[in-house]
Amino acid sequence: MKRFLKYLKPYIKECILAPLFKMLEASFELLVPLVIADLVDKGIGAGDERRIMIDGLLLFVLAVVGLLAAVTAQYFSAKAAVRFGQSVRNDLFRHIENLSYSNIDSIGSSTLITRMTSDVNQMQTGVNMILRLFLRSPFIVFGAIFMAYRVSHEYLSEFTSVVGILFIIVFAIILSSIPLIRKVQQRLDTVTLHTRENIKGARVIRAFNREDEEEEEFIGSVKKLTRMQLIVGRISALLNPLTFAFINVGIVVVLYSGGMDVYRGKLETGDVVALIEYMSMILVELIKLANFIITVSRMFAGAKRVAVIFDTKPDQVFPEEQKKNTKAEASAGSGNDVNEIRFENVSMRYKGAADDALKGISFTARKGETIGIIGGTGSGKSTLVNLIPRFYDATEGSITIDGKDIDSYSKNEIRGKVSVVPQKAALFRGSIADNMKWGKPDAKDEEIDNAIDMSMSREFVSTKEGEKNFVISEGARNLSGGQKQRLTIARALVKDSGILILDDSSSALDFATDAKLRKNLEAMKKDHVIFVVSQRASTIMKADRILVLEKGNLVGSGTHEELIKSSDIYREICLSQMSEEEVRS
């Protein structure tokens, strides 16, 4: 938890004032039994109305001042805790954004979501509780003992005995709960994973009529979480009855002994009332202290889990930027400045995999060329193009752009040189124009219009309300699959980088639209290096060079006509999709 203290440094004032006002409130609270004792003995007992009025007014003042102190303390503690949570969450998100694809694959997106939400919330709640109760509860407990000693030193042993037994009970329950609380948090990760998968894959689940199986699996996961929570709850539930039982025994002892002392004339009636009040204060504060420790335990468990993410270092290292470029400068500065991309004996293996996804790939792509990449499922097509912008790093060999190894480019430089249309179309909530500006924030309307026309998006954009200002919903649910793919292509065209990668980005398009799109891309290729990954042979037939992949190996390279003659695998793919006449044409 020490590493997170830096997030509280900007709020030192709040961290000091919050416990200070809580201590002020506690001090007023400790004075209340003494005023009540005076009210009972010298006011009610003596029939002194003036004393009753004075003590009553004093109690009211103590209550009002205590309330103001408590509200002020709550304000400062809440402000510090919320700002702390905000800072941790911002830095955590920033750190996750810098992790590589491999890091995210290893950790799991459901785990990252839980860390960002539940665990940071636990830390935030823990900070709030520490500022409010860390000093207040012990101060009240020991202050009540001291004040009781001031009232009558003969009852010190009863108070210390009760407090000692209560401390043993409280800490026994806490120590047995903490390991279980950590397991509950881990089980919560599993439930989050199931929830995310079911929400994200709802259509697939329904299409395969798997609702019952998924529901059964989810319920089973929730039942395990519930069982663990019930165990923790049952142990924690012992706290209140056990502490109440012992404190009430202590109150009975004080009440009996005090009554006898009043009868003998050793004590006043008000003193007995004050002693009972102090005993009750101890009970309340020990219960608060127990809840405080459990909350803080959850905070430490959450902090440990968040620290694991912070300790995960990105497994990709980028050189430092030459200057502090803005995103707009990075994208605009990249331009059409790529002349050659060279792969030399490149191999790549995913973390934890048993075999290489790519094996000894070598080829050269130049400006003005369209490189088609085709192969069976799992042949390494997407893996190959993901190496160019360094989404993943090659495990062997080298990749150079204009003779310079891609490892020597800064992140802004390498990502600025590449426009990627991913396999899965991803658009974000906002207008179409806003989405178009992701790669180039300062893009003009003419550039956006041109990209929309080039990507064959005009036919549906013009029918939308507001056209470019049409608001895309979360997950782009108000667009079809083909519309999403065309807009992601348009977004890449607006960026206008030297390298354009289309990773199976026309799979949802009909053949006519796909053909028109290919024709438009052909017209712009002279200033770009274009990589087209596709399962369709018709999509890459006209490419200047086609790379044929099979189980991570480059088994063919050449034009369509050359490969039809030299590559059995390519010829088989083409004949499975087209007639002999279409293949030869």
Residue-wise pLDDT for 355-402, tens only, equals 899 999 999 999 989 999 998 888 899 999 999 999 999 999 999 999
Q: What's the average model confidence in pLDDT over 76-83?
A: 94
pLDDT range class, residue 531, cuts 50, 70, 90: very high
> Any long-range contacts for 102-111 (C-beta under 8 Å, 24+ apart)?
102/315, 102/350, 102/351, 102/392, 103/312, 103/314, 103/315, 105/350, 105/351, 106/351, 106/352, 107/309, 107/312, 108/193, 109/196, 110/189, 110/192, 110/193, 110/196, 111/189, 111/192, 111/193
Q: Residue 343: what pLDDT? A: 94
> Any long-range contacts for 408-412 (C-beta under 8 Å, 24+ apart)?
408/319, 409/318, 409/319, 410/318, 410/319, 410/320, 410/321, 410/322, 411/318, 411/321, 412/321, 412/325, 412/330
From edge to edge, which strands make up the β-sheet containing 404-405?
358-366, 340-348, 396-401, 404-405
Contact 381/373 with Cβ under 8 angstroms?
yes
Q: Residue 73: what pLDDT? A: 93
The distance of Cα 558 from the centroid of its chain, to the nearest Å, equals 46
Contact 535/375 with Cβ under 8 angstroms?
no
3-state secondary structure 427-488: CCCEEHHHHHCCCCCCCCHHHHHHHHHHCCCHHHHCCCCCHHHCEECHHHCCCCHHHHHHHH
Distance between CA atoms of residues 268 and 37, nearest Å = 8
Weakest-pLDDT range from 211-220, 230-239, 500-509: 230-239
Nearest to 74, CA basis, from 139, 18, 134: 18
Residues 6+ apart with CB under 8 A from 330: 412, 413, 415, 416
Question: Which token pair is 88?
Answer: 């941790």
Q: What's the average model confidence in pLDDT over 225-243?
A: 81
Evaluate if residue 321 carries a pLDDT over 60. no
SS3 content of the chain, % helix, strand, coil (to 5): 70, 10, 20
Weakest-pLDDT range from 184-198, 327-341, 354-368, 463-477: 327-341
Residue-wise pLDDT for 475-487, tens only, equals 788 888 889 989 9
Residues 6+ apart with CB under 8 A from 466: 431
Evaluate if residue 528 carries a pLDDT over 80. yes
Evaluate if residue 323 carries a pLDDT over 60. no
Dihedrals phi, psi of 349, to nearest 5 degrees: -130, 130
Evaluate if residue 88 carries a pLDDT over 50. yes
Please give the mean pLDDT across all residues of the chain.
Answer: 85
pLDDT range class, residue 327, cuts 50, 70, 90: very low
Nearest to 122, CA basis, from 2, 246, 298: 298
Number of Cβ atoms within 10 Å of the Cβ of 421: 25
Among 294-298, 329-333, 553-557, top mean pLDDT goes to 553-557
Q: Residue 1: what pLDDT? A: 66
Q: Residue 424: what pLDDT? A: 85
pLDDT range class, residue 326, cuts 50, 70, 90: very low
Nearest to 285, CA basis, from 426, 135, 68: 135
Q: Residue 89: what pLDDT? A: 93
Q: Residue 47: what pLDDT? A: 80
